[in-house]
Amino acid sequence: MTTIAELHDRARQRLVPEYYDYFAGGAADETALADNERAFRRLALMPRVLRGRADRDISVELPGARASMPVVVAPTAFHRLAHPDGELATARAAAAAGTVLIASMAATVGVGEMAAAARAVDPGAALWFQLYLQSDTRVTETLVRRATDAGCSALVVTVDSPVFGRHERDRRNGFADLPAGFAAENMRDLPGGRRNIEMTPMSWEHLDRLRASTSLPVLLKGILHPEDAHLAIERGADGIVVSNHGGRQLDAVPASIDALPRIAEVAGGRVPVLLDGGVRRGSDVAIALALGAVAVGVGRPVIWGLAADGELGVRQVLELLREEFDHTLALCGGQGPADLTRDLVTVRGPEGGKW
């Protein structure tokens, strides 16, 4: 396989159609889903010449982790529907690639098992834990304890989901929940006996409470409005993930990459800004970094790799992105991620863009 697109094709052939739709789908008309990829195609890189080096270093420093490249695994649910090894395979592949795995609260393997699988490959493997704040504080605290005990080095709180997204493919297919034999393993034996993941409107005060209860860095995932980036930093967030949830929550939102520049401007280097949504090529990674991200997350590409070929498939996806990004950096005359500056990005078309 030479591209993520080919792994996607293979995954489509292998997956149960209802599960394929669950992974591939977005909200409502899937406008944001499509725009996430399309928006990268509307942008172009302006390479610099006669200043590159052969000894490039593409590793990046992130909260609680150093990653071998500016690509991390975004949190996605239900990996056992893509491959029997599920999140164990994903965890091993991320560890082999030397990058951060953001474990989903909705994983079909518990975070402790994921961490153990990753550490068997590389004792220094880094994991973060993604969570939705739960209205019962005891539930949130139990989840944080499980993540901490597993050795997670940061928490990623997803803030774009006060309600579930309108996944119309799933409605049509009658796909509402995990089939028998699968479970959201992090949700076992919780105070109050709840097993399901609650999505409910939460507030900045809930976040304050979480921050007071843990010493782990807390990143907020799903920020699109610059004013929320400002509030997040003011409230002590340790990082921001610019994301429209892969087009699965509000459909009437901009592409993640289009929302990035203003948020990077607000952050002004005070906290790291990450981006996810629509990253399919190393050049997409380079564009995101040039527009102010320190790293990007990939969601569906990892699932396509997993469905295509388990751990090996996920490894392939991550190695393709590494190779392509390094190649792009070389062609742009860069030695490291810091050489990707905003002046390298322009809008496609005869007039170019004003950045």
Ligand X SMILES: O=C(O)C(=O)c1ccccc1
Distance CA 40, CA 42 (A): 5
Q: Respond yes or no: is residue 327 known to be catalytic.
A: no
Q: Write the binding mask 3 to 42 for ligand FMN: x where contact by CB under 6 A, - elsewhere.
A: --------------------x------------x------
Distance CA 39, CA 256 (A): 8
Q: Which residues contact 161 (CB under 8 A, 6 or more apart)?
A: 132, 199, 222, 245, 249
Q: Is residue 197 at the binding interface for ligand X, with CB under 6 A as the rule? A: yes
Beta strands in 215-327 (DSSP E): 218-223, 239-242, 273-276, 295-298
Q: Is residue 169 at the binding interface for ligand FMN, with CB under 6 A as the rule? A: no
90 binds, among ligand X, ligand FMN, none (CB under 5 to 8 A by kind): none
Q: Give the shortest CB-348-to-ligand X separation in angstroms.
A: 30
Q: Write the binding mask 217 to 246 for ligand X: x where contact by CB under 6 A, - elsewhere.
A: ----------------------------x-
Tokens found for residue 294 = 């320190």
> For ligand FMN, which residue of 276, 284, 324, 339 counts as binding (CB under 6 A)?
276
Beta strands in 91-248 (DSSP E): 101-103, 127-131, 155-158, 218-223, 239-242
Q: Which stretch binds ligand FMN (CB under 6 A): 7-15, 185-193, 207-215, 277-285?
A: 277-285
Distance CA 50, CA 61 (A): 27
State residue 132 phi and psi, 5-degree precision: -100, 125
Distance CA 253, CA 268 (A): 23
CB atoms within 10 A of CB 254: 15
> For ligand FMN, which residue of 74, 101, 320, 321 counts as binding (CB under 6 A)?
74
> For ligand X, which residue of 72, 102, 106, 126 counts as binding (CB under 6 A)?
106
The DSSP secondary-structure symbol of 218 reads: E
> For ligand FMN, which residue of 8, 80, 221, 315 counts as binding (CB under 6 A)?
221
CB atoms within 10 A of CB 323: 12
Question: 206, 225, 245, 327: which is the annotated catalytic residue?
Answer: 245
92 binds, among ligand FMN, ligand X, none (CB under 5 to 8 A by kind): none
Q: Is residue 298 at the binding interface for ligand FMN, with CB under 6 A as the rule? A: yes
Which residues of this chain interact with ligand FMN, rule CB under 6 A? 23, 36, 74-77, 104, 106, 130, 158, 221, 243, 245-246, 248, 276-279, 298-300
Catalytic residues, by residue number, are 245
Which residues sit at the interface with ligand X, rule CB under 6 A?
77, 106, 197, 245, 248
